[in-house]
Amino acid sequence: MAEITFSPSWIGFAAAMLTTAAFAPQAIQAWRSRSTRDVSLAMFTLMVSGIILWLFYGILINDLPLILANAVTLMLAGAILVAKIRFR
């Protein structure tokens, strides 16, 4: 029987999945309702900027959990930001 070895990357992947998935309901809601009245433009502009930096950081240090999580999160948060600007 193969032994399962703990890897800190598992924690990174789990954190990445949860924090990335957290943006999905808001992105879906914004595009379905065509309303982003309660979404802060300043907050999502800052968030998307930070996500871009985290993505570049992950690429620079070659950290797969950071790269994958921030690439997907950038798409979701970016969709919310685009919806906010488009559905004013």
Q: What are the tens digits of pLDDT across the range 7-62?
A: 887 887 888 889 889 999 999 999 899 998 888 999 999 999 999 999 999 999 99
Q: What is the per-residue pLDDT for 61?
A: 97
pTM for the full predicted model: 0.80
Q: Which of 79, 88, 26 is nearest to 48 (CA)?
A: 79
Q: What are the tens digits of pLDDT across the range 65-86?
A: 889 889 999 999 999 999 989 9
Q: For residue 1, is pLDDT > 70?
A: no
* Residues contacting 28, CB < 8 A, separation 6+: none
Q: For residue 63, is pLDDT > 70?
A: yes
**How far does Cα 44 stand from its chain's mean position?**
11
Among 1.10.3470.10, 3.40.50.970, 1.20.1280.290, 2.40.30.10, name the CATH number for the domain at 31-88. 1.20.1280.290
| Complete DSSP assignment for 27-87 | HHHHHHHT--TTS-HHHHHHHHHHHHHHHHHHHHHT-HHHHHHHHHHHHHHHHHHHHHHHT
